[in-house]
């Protein structure tokens, strides 16, 4: 079994180590980077990865700004120690965005998912209204906007997933508001000439959270695993962060759109039983497999940025080791199996 990690520090070190491809892309660029919503699940490691890649590319004088409310002091301290400039700022509550740092490169990671079903107006404010204010504030910058594969319809596993050419058909307020986010940034590109890349992600794996953490934890604790949603895509978060950063080089007034996930379509039943084998647990499967799932075709991503250095099978083995060792889980369940769009 591939050697995993014995601590969060080891995991973080792996997540923030830039690839040669990222360093090469950064060596061709210039200017500061502003990361909006940098306090979430992916933001802190993405910010440090960006800082490390800039250093490796000889761009030590360029600044990485991490913007968020930053409720946890430990996150602010970790970013500051890594050389990231922390900007504590509430993007929703502040009427004026003038205090935000200027930069030619912007990553928009702000999103509202959990609670969207009970407070849809909040989801639309964060996911669709705020992007308009950001697009106006940074109209001359290149903007990489995080979106989600939830904007697509459910498709059969045999299809290989929805490609970027499949028309969006979002289910529920969360997915609809995320498509709203995309449309707002598209408008900025069409009307103001803002260069935009849209990255449709599902689902990043960090070991402390994610689809594999959800399934593995259920198996470990003896809980049943539903296979109603029979298939799923996952991707190593280190690779996901790299693609988000590298997508800045493709930002365009034509709007560059890319699916970000792993190349494998995983069987939930097979993943659960693999965890059972690795963790020495019996597996209880429930639910009737449905013929469709939320699946994305990542062929374009693989062609542009190469394959993830960590395969899905290695991620499953690392996840089993992480769970067995009792290492921290730091986020809520992903609700990846939800089929009605209510989060």
Picking from 343, 337, 340, 339, the residue whose alpha carbon sits closest to that of residue 231 is: 337
pLDDT for res 299: 98
- The dihedrals phi and psi of 177, each to the nearest 5 degrees, come to -70, -30
pLDDT for res 116: 82
Cα(177)–Cα(170) distance, rounded to whole angstroms? 9
Picking from 203, 183, 181, the residue whose alpha carbon sits closest to that of residue 296 is: 203
Cα(285)–Cα(267) distance, rounded to whole angstroms? 12
Residue 118 class from Cβ within 10 Å (0-12 exposed, 13-18 middle, 19+ buried)? Answer: exposed
pLDDT for res 1: 60
How many residues are recorded in the chain? 343
Instruction: Work out the end-to-end distance of the chain between its first and last CA atoms, rounded to an integer number of angstroms.
Output: 35
pLDDT for res 333: 86
Q: At what angle do helices 268-279 and 211-220 cross, to 10 degrees?
A: 50
Cα(87)–Cα(76) distance, rounded to whole angstroms? 9
Instruction: Provide the residue-wise pLDDT of the chain in tens; the chain has 343 residues.
Output: 667 899 999 999 999 999 999 999 999 999 999 999 999 999 999 999 999 999 999 999 999 999 999 988 899 999 999 999 999 999 999 999 999 999 999 999 999 988 888 899 999 999 999 999 999 999 999 999 999 999 999 999 999 999 999 999 999 999 999 999 999 999 999 999 999 999 999 999 999 999 999 999 999 999 999 999 999 999 999 999 999 999 999 999 999 999 999 999 999 999 999 999 999 999 999 999 999 999 999 999 999 999 999 999 999 999 999 999 999 998 678 899 999 999 9
**If you search the block for the tokens 């020495």, which residue do you land on?**
280
């Amino acid at each position: 079994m591939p050697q995993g990690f014995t601590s969060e520090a080891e995991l973080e070190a792996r997540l923030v180590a830039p690839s040669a491809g990222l360093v090469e892309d950064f060596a061709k660029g210039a200017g500061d980077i502003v990361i909006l919503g940098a306090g979430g699940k992916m933001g802190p490691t993405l910010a440090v990865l960006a800082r490390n890649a800039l250093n490796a590319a000889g761009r030590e004088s360029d600044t990485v700004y991490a913007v968020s409310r930053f409720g946890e002091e430990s996150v602010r301290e970790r970013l500051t120690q890594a050389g990231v400039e922390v900007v504590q700022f509430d993007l929703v509550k502040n009427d004026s965005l003038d205090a935000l740092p200027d930069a030619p490169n912007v990553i928009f990671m702000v999103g509202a998912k959990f609670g969207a079903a009970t407070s849809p107006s909040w989801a639309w404010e964060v996911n669709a209204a705020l992007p308009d204010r950001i697009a106006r504030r940074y109209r001359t910058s290149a903007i990489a906007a995080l979106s989600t594969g939830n904007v697509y319809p459910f498709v059969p596993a045999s299809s290989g997933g929805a490609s970027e050419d499949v028309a969006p058909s979002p289910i529920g307020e969360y997915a609809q508001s995320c498509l709203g986010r995309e449309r707002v940034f598209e408008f900025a590109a069409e009307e103001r000439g803002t260069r935009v890349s849209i990255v449709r992600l599902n689902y990043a794996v960090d070991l402390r959270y994610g689809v594999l953490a959800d399934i593995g934890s259920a198996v470990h604790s003896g809980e049943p695993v539903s296979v109603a949603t029979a298939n799923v895509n996952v991707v190593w978060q280190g690779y996901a962060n790299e693609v988000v950063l590298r997508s800045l080089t493709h930002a365009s007034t034509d709007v560059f759109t890319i699916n970000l996930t792993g190349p494998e379509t995983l069987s939930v039943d097979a993943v659960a039983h693999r965890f059972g084998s690795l963790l020495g647990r019996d597996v209880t499967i429930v639910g009737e497999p449905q013929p469709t799932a939320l699946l994305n075709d990542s062929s374009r991503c693989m062609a542009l940025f190469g394959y993830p250095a960590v395969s899905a099978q290695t991620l499953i083995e690392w996840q089993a080791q992480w769970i067995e060792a009792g290492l921290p889980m730091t986020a809520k369940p992903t609700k990846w199996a939800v089929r009605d769009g209510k989060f």
